[in-house]
Amino acid sequence: MSSQNKHVICITSCDRYLGNGIAHCLLHERKKRGHKYHVRVLARDTSNMDEFKKLGAEVVQIDYSKTETIEHALTDSLWVIWIPESDNDLLHMAKTFADAAKKARVSNLLFCSILGADDADEKCLREFRDMEKKAEAAKNQLALPIRRDSRMAPIHLNDVYCTIHCIIYDEHDQLRNEMDKNHHKRHYTLTGPESISASTLMAMMNIVTDANVEFTEIKRKECEEYLKSCKDEKMIGLTKLGDQEGREDLFPNPPCPNQTEILIL
């Protein structure tokens, strides 16, 4: 693996919702503004990464438990946007990744995580768009393991990306070679603008999807079983979201997280 220059941005967990969305935003920005940096998307499962390749990204399969594969994937990286995956031993995985990043001489590292999102929630995020489409094709019902009166504060994915954009670009909209000292070792927490109910969430989704989907309350176990049944079916690529010409709101509001945490290392 080699690049013509050190202007490489790596994004991890691109087979998950958050990593996938951020990578797509970066590629969209690069095309729109004619930037020359190289985007490398990392994922455990690269079977659905064709859209990224079409957008000009380098796709690399990675094993987050092995230092050597991480180090190889991070070669020549100027910026790394690290989005941890759900795992039984997150501390060990974090240490492994940090050690590999140090060996790879990564210049700048951004750590992004969703607070309060356990493994099941993250699966909901990852398969969310597919669930929307299946609901439209079936009974126009979207079954989620939350109560009708549950409240949450969704964050628009573009707001997360705007935060990242302000850190990695300078005032002339050029990729920074070094992180601004004002951001060094800082910790930012993004929260949604307002608390909404599950019913309001459905109304927002219907506007985005131009559909008439109703909310159905189910048990968490039922949701897990449904997602397992989707595993071997063809998933709808998240990179297709927002491809409509002229749309600036690339992604619908993520439904689950109340807070997104960005730690600058």
More confident site: 232 or 216: 216
SS3 letters for 161-199?
Answer: HHHHHHHHECCCCCECCCCCCCCCCCEEEEECCCCEEHH
With 90 as the cut, is the pLDDT of residue 73 above it? Answer: yes
pTM: 0.65
Per-residue DSSP letter, 110? E
Residue 129 burial (C-beta neighbours within 10 Å; 0-12, 13-18, 19+) = buried
pLDDT of residue 177: 85
Q: Which stretch of DSSP H or E encloses residue 216?
A: strand 214-217
Q: What mean pLDDT comes out for the span 52-73?
A: 91
pLDDT of residue 34: 80
What is the distance between the alpha carbons of residues 187 and 151, in angstroms, rounded to a whole number?
26
Helix (H, G, I), strand (E, B) or coil at 246: coil
229, 152 Cβ separation under 8 angstroms = no
With 50 as the cut, is the pLDDT of residue 249 above it? Answer: no
Question: Quick one: what percent of the chain has pLDDT higher than 70?
Answer: 69
pLDDT of residue 32: 83
With 80 as the cut, is the pLDDT of residue 252 above it? Answer: no
Most confident listed range (108-112, 153-157, 185-189, 191-195): 108-112
165, 9 Cβ separation under 8 angstroms = no
Q: What mean pLDDT comes out for the span 225-248?
A: 50
Domains in the chain (CATH in brackets) are 8-264 (3.40.50.720)
With 60 as the cut, is the pLDDT of residue 201 above it? Answer: yes
